[in-house]
Structure 1
Amino acid sequence: MGSRNHYYLSIADLAHARGSEPALSWDGAGPADFAAALEEALHSPALFERWRAQQPEPDEVDPALGATDAQAQVRAQVADLLVEVDVLTSLPMSLLRQRLNWLIGAAWQLRDVRQG
């Protein structure tokens, strides 16, 4: 497994944060639900497989895009009217971005990255 990084994110309006594709989008009620959904999206290939099935040529999608990290940890809490999210994972930012965009669209902002 590669190096692990902490990705620190903020979400301004989690209550309305949704991805553009309803079949992939998060539909939870708060920071704890979101953290659980993102953690599941990093642990399991299920979200990736749902996305892949929607593609015109699913068999041509690079399977590396579905990489997972069974040790990923996600914590989310409300702070100063924002939801602050701490993701600890060995997955690269490109895959974290992919999962975040599927779940909540562009409603998030990367604040910092530190080696974990």
Structure 2
Amino acid sequence: MGIRSHYYFSIADLAHARGPVPALSYDGAGPNDLAAAVQNAMRTTDLFERWRAMQEEPDEVDPSLATVDPQATASARVSDLHTEMDLITDLPMSIVRQRLNLLIGASWQLRDMRKA
């Protein structure tokens, strides 16, 4: 797998952080729910498989997009007027970006990334 990275994200308005497809979108109520949804999305193929099934040609989807990290961890907390989330994983940013976009749309911002 790749290099283990620690991603630091900021979500300005968690109450409205939703992905573009309701069936795939985060629907929790707080930072702990968000962390659990993100962690599950990185550890399992559940979100990917639901997304893939919605594609016009599911069998033609690049199988590398199904890559998971069973050891990924996510945590989130409220800080001032936004939510901060930490994600530790060896998944590449392209996979992390796709899954975050499915879950919470463009509501997130990468604040920093370091070797874990």
- DSSP-derived class of the 1:69 partner: coil
Question: Normalising by the residue count of structure 1, what TM-score does the alignment of the two structures yield?
Answer: 0.98
Fraction of identical pairs, as percent: 65
Moved over 4 A (4+): none
Distance (whole Å) between structure 2 residues aligned to residue 62 and residue 7 of structure 1: 24
Cα distance in 2 for partners of 1:2, 1:94 equals 12
Give 5+ residue unaligned stretches, structure 2.
Answer: none
Instruction: After TM superposition, give the deviation of residue 13 of structure 1 in Å.
Output: 0.3
Residue pairs, 1:48-59, within 5 angstroms: 48-59=48-59
- Is this contact kept in 1: 2:39–2:74, CA < 8 A? yes
Q: Which residue of 2 aligns with 1:100?
A: 100
CA offset at residue 71 of structure 1? 0.3
Please list the CA deviations of residues 8-36 of structure 1 after superposition, one character each: whole Å capped at 9, or x if unmatched. 00000001110000110000000000000
For 2:111, the equivalent position in structure 1 comes to: 111
The equivalent residue for 1:16 is 16
TM-score scaled by length of structure 2: 0.98
Amino acid at match of 1:104: I
Match of 2:47 in 1: 47
